[in-house]
Structure 1
Amino acid sequence: MAVRRLARDSRDLLTAGPFLALKAAVFGLFVAVPFVYTFVLTFQRGSLLSGLRWNGLGNYRTVLTDTLFRDSLLNTLVFMAITIPVTVLVSMAVGLLLASGLPGIRVHRALIYLPSLLSVVATGLIWKVMIDPEQGPLDLLLDKLFGLRVPWLTDGGVAIVFLSLITVWCSCGFYSLIFMAGFNNIPQDLLEAGRIDGASTWQLLVHIRIPLVRSVAQVVLVLVTISAVQVFDLVFVMTHGGPGTETYTAMWYVYQNAFNGGSVAYAATMSIVLLLVTMIIAAVFLARTESGGEAGD
């Protein structure tokens, strides 16, 4: 019997082997090899054109004392502190509404998802037109109604908040549909049992709906975190890191070093450090949500 099972497993492995080999080759070519090469670059100095030389841990020591990288990382953390909770909460609320069977629900889904179909470059250009100080409709409306002239992109703090809100606006539709699918997956028997026991709509939401979409929220949380850490496109289109360096994010600083006269090796080092920061933040978020779920159970 064991011999037959071993023979069957061997045949299955031989059948699946070519397909697995193709996937392994694609993964190695586009993920594993670039990652290993990036890691090796962190121990080098110089440029790809003039040649690279061994530098040991010099790049890592430089990262620890680089004030501009520290400021860029701080700007990224501020961006994350705004984007992550607002995106998750708004997406969950919108997803709950989409799962509640509103009239014309298909139209609402299409309208909410529409911003997610736009490229980040198109989104940035649209909002730059909206806040144009001379003829931007949003700027003119605030000026006429409240007499406000908001320094959308000329003040670093305001610009970071504004970029965060634009990110929420253009990504909320996608995550809302994920939450909608999670809410629609909840067995109706549980909700009916709660109503029979006299639970209010709020109690059903807090004690049944939200706990049962916790795994969905974890997935969204990780996706939003990765996206927030990698923010680059909006900065490139709207501020170019300005005014001065006040909207420098970590990825923008990496780009500046890699392609605008800096060091590719140093850019690779910052990328590895940023990867570690992302992994730590994502692990903390997941640990807290899992511990919250256990406490709720």
Structure 2
Amino acid sequence: MSVNVPDRTRAPANLPAGAPSGPVRPRRARLVRLRRGLTNLAQAVPFLVPKAVVFGLFVLAPFAYTVVLTFQRGSLLSGLTFAGLENYRTVFTDDLFRQTLMNTALFMLICVPLTIVVTMLVGLLLSSSIRGMSAYRTLIYLPSLLSVVATGLIWKIMVDSEYGPLNALFSRLLGIDVPWLTDGTVAMVFLALITLWSTCGFYSIIFMAGFNNIPTTVLEAARIDGASGWRLFTAIKLPLVRPVLQLVLILVTINSIQVFDLVFVLTNGGPGTATYTALWYIYQSAFNGGSLSYAATMSIILLLVTAVISAVFIGRTRSDGADYE
């Protein structure tokens, strides 16, 4: 006895001519998802438009105008004319700009490792359960509340050659005359130390939050396995705060490349051009008799350098993406 099994691969015989023979449900589901997405987008537009307008006016428009300026010559008062790639050719043959990049790199090489190590250790201490820790956290964070200009003025008074208490401590009590701002290398190190003092609280709080976010069960399991002290820090805590380390590393690097305020308050690029950083040179070119177009060109070059360095740091410190339970 034979049983006729209907062929499901064929289209039903009662379909009208020209009707699609494929599955209907997947198409209908896609149309529903598309309609739902358009509805959500229409509901979000009133909230996105103000942010998009602000972003366009204060970020995209200035950036686009800066890019346009790099292909101009002249000034805003006398008028601008098209110069092609002239500014870019000048930048790559400018010895002073090359020196400012080297000075900025030197400052970054001093400031970044020092800030990362010190703030990580301070953040580790702040995450511990020591009596009176709230007061310690407040005291460490206080310098971060000061503006950079106020910080520079405070330390300029501290190392004043006649009335500075820090200068008196070294010269009169210890018999050491420290050229705080008159020697190029010492001035660069001194700027890095001031930067560390003013930002230590902010970055330490970030590290503290990362250490506090580590589950206690992970630490207890490591202690049961015999890990303690340095082994617990290097094998458990440090890998788990790698995303926080990546964030702080990028922030400190960008802050170091864009150092300007302390140079303006303390050294004015001196002695000579020893503390002439890239951003200080851009400022001098834009507002002290230089060319605004040339300053815009150096700004674009500095932006590209910052983006490349940040991309390298992100690639080298990228987390494996493994979440801990």
Assess same fold via TM > 0.5.
Answer: yes
Kindly provide the amino acid, as one letter, of the partner of residue 190 in structure 2: F
1:150 aligned counterpart, secondary structure: coil
Displacement after TM superposition at 1:145 (Å):
2.6
CA distance in 1 between counterparts of 2:176 and 2:321 reads 44
Q: Does 1:80 align with 2:126?
A: no
Distance 1:77 1:269 in 2: 19
Distance in 1, matches of 2:171 and 2:150, equals 25
1:125-274 pair list within 5 angstroms:
125-274=153-302
Q: Tell me, yes or no, if the aligned pair for 2:243 and 2:319 is still in contact at 8 Å.
A: no
User: Which 4+ residue blocks in structure 1 deviate beyond 4 angstroms?
Assistant: 291-294
Partner-residue secondary structure (3-state), 1:160: helix
- Answer yes or no: is the 8 Å Cα contact 1:38–1:268 preserved in 2: yes
Cα deviation per residue 1:178-229 (whole Å; 9 max; x = unaligned)?
Answer: 0000000001111000111111221111100000000000001111111111
Contact 2:143-2:197 at 8 Å conserved across structures: yes
Q: Which amino acid aligns with 2:250?
A: V
Q: Which residue of 1 aligns with 2:90?
A: 62
Report the secondary structure of 1:280's partner residue. helix
> Does the Cα contact within 8 Å between 1:214 and 1:293 map onto a contact in 2?
no
Aligned-pair identity (%): 66
- Which AA in structure 2 matches 1:272? I
What is the TM-score of this pair, normalised by structure 2? 0.88
* SS, match of residue 318 in structure 2: helix
- Residue in 1 aligned with 2:7? none
- 1:60 Cα deviation after fit: 0.8
Q: CA deviation at 1:14?
A: 1.2
Letter in 1 for 2:216: Q
Matched, 1:102 2:133: no
Find the residue that maps to 1:23 and give its secondary structure.
helix
> 1:22: Cα distance to partner?
1.3
Distance 2:139 2:117 in 1: 19
Structure 2 SS opposite 1:191: helix
Aligned to 1:52, the other structure's residue is in SS state: strand
Q: How much has 1:134 moved relative to structure 2?
A: 0.5
Tell me the number of residue pairs that the alignment of Structure 1 and Structure 2 aligns. 294
Deviations 1:93-117 (A, max 9, x none): 0000000111111001000000000
Gapped regions of structure 1 (runs ≥ 5): none
1:279 aligns with 2:304: no
Could you tell me whether the CA contact under 8 Å between 2:242 and 2:319 is conserved in 1?
A: no
**1: CA distance, partners of 2:40 / 2:90:** 52
Kindly indicate whether the alpha-carbon contact (under 8 Å) linking 1:211 and 1:293 is maintained by their aligned counterparts in 2.
no
Identify if the C-alpha distance between structure 1 residues 282 and 2 changes in structure 2 by more than 3 Å, giving closer, same or farther. Answer: closer
* Cα distance in structure 1, aligned partners of 2:34 and 2:88: 50
Partner of 1:8: 36
Note closer, same or farther for the CA distance 1:276–1:169 as it changes in structure 2 (3 Å cut): same
The gaps in structure 2 that reach 5 residues or longer are: 1-28
Give the CA deviation at 1:291.
8.2
SS in structure 2 of the partner of residue 53 of structure 1: strand
Picking from 22, 26, 34, the partner of 2:62 is: 34
Q: What's the TM-score once normalised by structure 1's chain length?
A: 0.96
Alpha-carbon distance in structure 2 between the residues aligned to 1:19 and 1:110: 37
